[in-house]
Structure formats: structure tokens, C-alpha cells
Amino acid sequence: MSDLRSEDGGEADLAAEYSLGVLDGAERRAAQRRIERDPAFAGEVEAWGARFAPLYEAIEPVEPPVGVWPRIVEDLARMRRVDTAGTQPAKPKGRRVAGIWQWIGLSGMGLAAASLAALIVVAGGLGEFGPQSPQAVDTILAGTLMNDRGEAMFTVVFYHEQDHDVATLIPVSSSSDADRVPELWVVPSGGTPRSLGMLHNSQPVVLALADRQALDPDAALAVSMEPAGGSPTGLPTGPVVAHGELRTP
């Protein structure tokens, strides 16, 4: 997959070249973006990392100056202040729910490479929605929304179409709440959840997104169960049935 024919020595293994560190700035950044969106490539980079791992044994430890740790502590405190400030606007009502939202927004669930690989296949199958040109592939994002037991509830594919973003949500297993409907939220890192629209328990739903911010690299997605027509308050009111992280190109 990462092998390219090249006149400079047969096949170039981009994952190996990235791991070794021979790529120039632009090539390196392109490889890093690819790691974020291409699980197979990320796996190859990881494998090369493991191959080169013993090379670190030959690097002598050097005590860093005492000033470094206090600076890390300062930065951490600053990060936490920003996080706390960002989550304040959430309504204090229902503290438990707020806690869950804060947790989703801050921690971001690490996506298993296997589930992402499966999603790429799903994306490839969405011919009628999916991007046709190689450039547009860059705008594809995929994610899995899981419940607290780690079971996949929805798969999500984001892509860019002409002048707006589109999200396709495919229910993997349906939740059994007949009176409520699932609503999709984007949770910016440390911010307040914003509704992206209503979903369906058993059918794929395609949402047109006016809000480009849905693609914030640190954003998490979550689904809560809401009354028919959506949350009356504009913020999630019902239980969170699924959540997951977005992967940026």
C-alpha cells in the first residue's frame, strides 16, 4: 500500500522512510497526516518503530536540567484551567450527565485500528456518496461510536461534498428505547456539546453539516437518547448511548 515505484532504488517504503526519519518537512507532515487517517499505514509505521526499537539502547541517558519538570507542571495547570473554563457553560443541572460529557470531551476514546480499517471499507462502499477524486479522499473521516461496554453502536463517515460536509451514520446495533430517538452531538475538546441532528435507530442517516467545526481534530462525537423532535434544551438531556472520537486526515 505504501510501496511506490521509484527510479531511486526500486520500491520506496514510505512507512520505513518516515520511521527512519529521512523525509523532508513537507513529506514528513504528509506522512503524519496519513498516519491519522490510514490505519493500515499507521500499522506499518508502528511495525517499523518496533523494528528500530533496539537502536534506542545505544543512546545514553542524560539527566535533564531541574527546570524542565516545573515547566511541565505549569503547562499542565494551564491546560487544566482552559479545560475547566471551557466546560463551565454547560448547565449545572444534572451533574452526573455533565460529568459524562466532560469525560467524553476530554478523554477521547482511542479507536482500535481494526474498527477503523472496517470503516474504511464501509466508506469505500458508499460509492454514491463517497468522494471520487483522490484529492477528496483527504477529507474523509471515520469513527465508531461505542456504548460503555465497548460495543459498536454506530459507524460514522464524514466527507466533504462540494461546499458542505456530510455525515453518514450507520446503526450497527439498535438501542431498544422506543419512546426516544437518538440525537448526534459533537463535543469539542473541553467545550459544550452541539447538536448535529437526529439519527435513526435502525436506518442509515445522511446529515448535511453547515458547521465546519464538527471537524475539529480533538472533537468527540456522542449520541444521546432524546424525546421525539430532539432535545428541548439544545443540550443533551437523555442518557448517552454511544460515543467515539473523530480521526482527522
Q: How far is the CB of 34 from other proteins (least distance, A)?
A: 14
User: In this chain, which of 1, 36, 37, 71 binds other proteins, going by CB under 8 A?
Assistant: 71
**59 belongs to the binding site for other proteins (CB under 8 A):** yes
Residue 113 pairs with which residues in a beta bridge?
none
> Which DSSP string do the residues of 15-81 spell out, in sequence order?
HHHHHHT-S-HHHHHHHHHHHHH-HHHHHHHHHHHHHHGGGGGGSPP-PPPTTHHHHHHHHHHHHHH
Question: Among residues 5, 24, 132, 179, which is the contact residue for other proteins, using CB under 8 A?
Answer: 24
Of 136, 140, 145, 134, the residue nearest 121 (C-alpha): 140
In three-state secondary structure terms, 222 is: strand
Q: Which of 203, 204, 242 is nearest to 225 (CA)?
A: 242
Q: How far is the CB of 142 from other proteins (least distance, A)?
A: 17
In 3D space, the residue among 144, 150, 124 whose CA is nearest the CA of residue 136 turns out to be: 124
* Alpha-carbon gap, residue 41 to 244, rounded angstroms: 21
C-beta of 55 vs 178, nearer to other proteins: 55
Q: Name which of 109 and 122 has its Cβ closer to other proteins.
A: 109
Q: Which one of 13-21, 92-100, 133-141, 175-183 is the stretch in contact with other proteins (CB under 8 A)?
A: 13-21
- Judged by CB under 8 A, which of 1, 2, 5, 16 binds other proteins? 16
- Give the nearest distance from C-beta 25 to other proteins in angstroms: 4
107 touching other proteins, by CB under 8 A: yes
Told to check if 72 binds other proteins by CB under 8 A, we report yes
Q: Which of 12, 98, 198, 207 binds other proteins (CB under 8 A)?
A: 12
Decide if 142 contacts 164 (C-beta within 8 A): no
Catalog residues that contact other proteins under the rule CB under 8 A.
Answer: 6-13, 16-17, 20-25, 28, 46, 49-65, 67-69, 71-72, 75-76, 79, 106-110
